[in-house]
Chain A
Amino acid sequence: MYYDLHIHSCLSPCGNDEMTINNICNMAIIKGLDLISITDHNSTLNLRALKKISESTGIKIIYGVEVQTIEEVHILGYFKTLEEILVFQKWLDDNIIKTKNKPEYFGNQLIVDENDKVINSYDNLLLMSINCNIEECCKTIHKYGGKVVLAHVVDRTNSICTQLGFIPKNLKFDGIEIKNFEQKEKVENIHPWLKNKFWFINSDAHQLIDISERENFISKESLNEFWR
């Protein structure tokens, strides 16, 4: 299956307003992707619409969210069901550091339905951190049945390598997100102890044009292995 498991919708303030769920799904279909995940910052409020559109278009989805830890590291939480991720959402709501969004600075945070109609706009800024350290965040994702992938690990902003210098040896996580295969070698060189991790190449798209092309493949067996 060709995938892109890190896409921001119009709910993320930094996501383009054109990133409605239909637009994302249809662009992914045009690009020939089989499996996508919409991973907004600290919120899953557009995933109900995603579930409906996935059912009507047939594109496969993973329920995801991009969590910002207190160290300002971005990690991706992936869940098999909407029910599971909504329970996790409650924990995010309880622990996010609350401050109001200023759309004129940070951008809109739009909640849409399956017809791309804006049904609400989220008031608190989603770019804030969850008031828990990365270990606690990973533990909680696992507790609610999810999997943890370290987002864009060598990026200059909000990556684990920038914020924390390197991946802590005892951190419990499942996968590593990179932008290309050269980065894999780089990460392995710094962390020779990394074994049995899943590697994902995702777009981190904030606008439609940036969604991945039909380039990155994961077999059904590997995906089953990831969920195990």
Chain B
Amino acid sequence: MQVNELIIKTGWKNVTTSSNTSREIEGAFVGDLLSFVMGNGDTDNAWITIQAHINVVAVAVLREFSCVIVCENIDIDKSVIEKANEEDLVIISCSLPIYECSKKLIELGI
């Protein structure tokens, strides 16, 4: 599934202006400790997290994630969105808790 398809099917919001929405999502990775995500995340995964620090952008780019999904409606600072735009990384904001968000992705066949 592509990132744009996920956005349409879930109604979750792309908070960036990144145009990289045709990227394929091959799977999903859940984690909030960035050191762990840096060491264990897989390319082309959607990364589900409640961490919204600016380092999230660097870690997502490094691991070549297809997008980042920030759960629980957590505030994403303007500086983080600007950095994501610069890197053409899609950050999606979702109101669901991580578990419910993961279930939704499974339901959609990811």
Contact in complex: A166, B55 (CB < 8 Å):
yes
Contact B37 A165 (CB under 8 A): yes
Q: Is A110 an interface residue (CB 8 A)?
A: no
Chain A, residue nearest B37 (CB) = A165
Interchain CB contact under 8 A, B54 and A163: no
Interface assignment of A161: CB less than 8 Å from any CB of chain B: yes
Q: Which of A71, A134, A161 has most chain B Cβ within 10 Å?
A: A71
Name the A residues within 8 Å of B54 (CB-CB). 135, 168
**What is the number of contacts between chain A and chain B, taking CB atoms within 8 Å?**
31
Chain A residues in 8 Å Cβ range of B107 = none
Q: Is the CB of A134 within 8 A of B33?
A: no
Cβ contacts under 8 Å, B35 to chain A: 161-165
Classify the secondary structure of B's interface with A: helix
Query: A124-144 interface mask toward B, CB cutoff 8 Å, 1 = contact, 0 = none?
Result: 000000000111000000000
Which residues does chain B contribute within 8 Å of A162, judged by CB atoms?
33-36
Contact of A163 with B77 in the complex, beta carbons under 8 Å: no
Q: Is the CB of B33 within 8 A of A133?
A: no
Within 8 A of A (CB), among B21-65: 33-38, 51-55, 58-59
How many B residues face the partner with a CB closer than 8 A? Answer: 14
Complex: chain A residue closest to B55, CB-CB = A164
Q: How far is the CA of A166 from the CA of B77 in the complex (A)?
A: 19
Contact A168 B55 (CB under 8 A): yes
Q: Which residues of B contact A133 (CB under 8 A)?
A: 52-53, 77
In the complex, A132 Cα to B40 Cα: how many Å? Answer: 27
Inter-chain CA distance A150–B55, complex, in Å, is 16
Chain B residue contacts of A71, Cβ below 8 A = 51, 53
Residues of B within 8 Å of A135, CB to CB, are 54
Q: Give Cα A166–Cα B62 distance, bound, in whole angstroms.
A: 13
B78 to chain A, nearest CB (A): 12
CB nearest neighbor in A for B59: A165
Cβ proximity bits A16-56 to B, threshold 8 Å, 1 near / 0 not: 00000000000000000000000000000000000000000
B51 surroundings in chain A (CB, below 8 A): 71
Residues 143-165 of A at the B interface (beta carbon under 8 Å): 161-165
Contacts of A161 in B (CB 8 A): 35
Minimum CB–CB distance from B54 to chain A (whole Å) comes to: 6
CB distance from A183 to the nearest CB of B (A): 15
Residues in chain B near residue A134, CB distance under 8 A: 53
- Tell me how far the C-beta of A194 lies from the nearest C-beta in chain B, rounded to whole angstroms: 16
**Set of chain A residues within 8 Å of B58, measured between Cβ atoms:** 165-166
Is B34 a contact of A164 with CB atoms below 8 Å? Answer: yes
Shortest beta-carbon distance, B52 to chain A, in Å?
Answer: 8
Q: Which 6 A-B pairs have the closest CB atoms?
A: A165-B34, A164-B55, A162-B35, A165-B38, A165-B35, A164-B34
**6 pairs, CB–CB < 8 Å, chain A vs chain B:** A161-B35, A162-B36, A164-B55, A165-B59, A166-B58, A168-B53
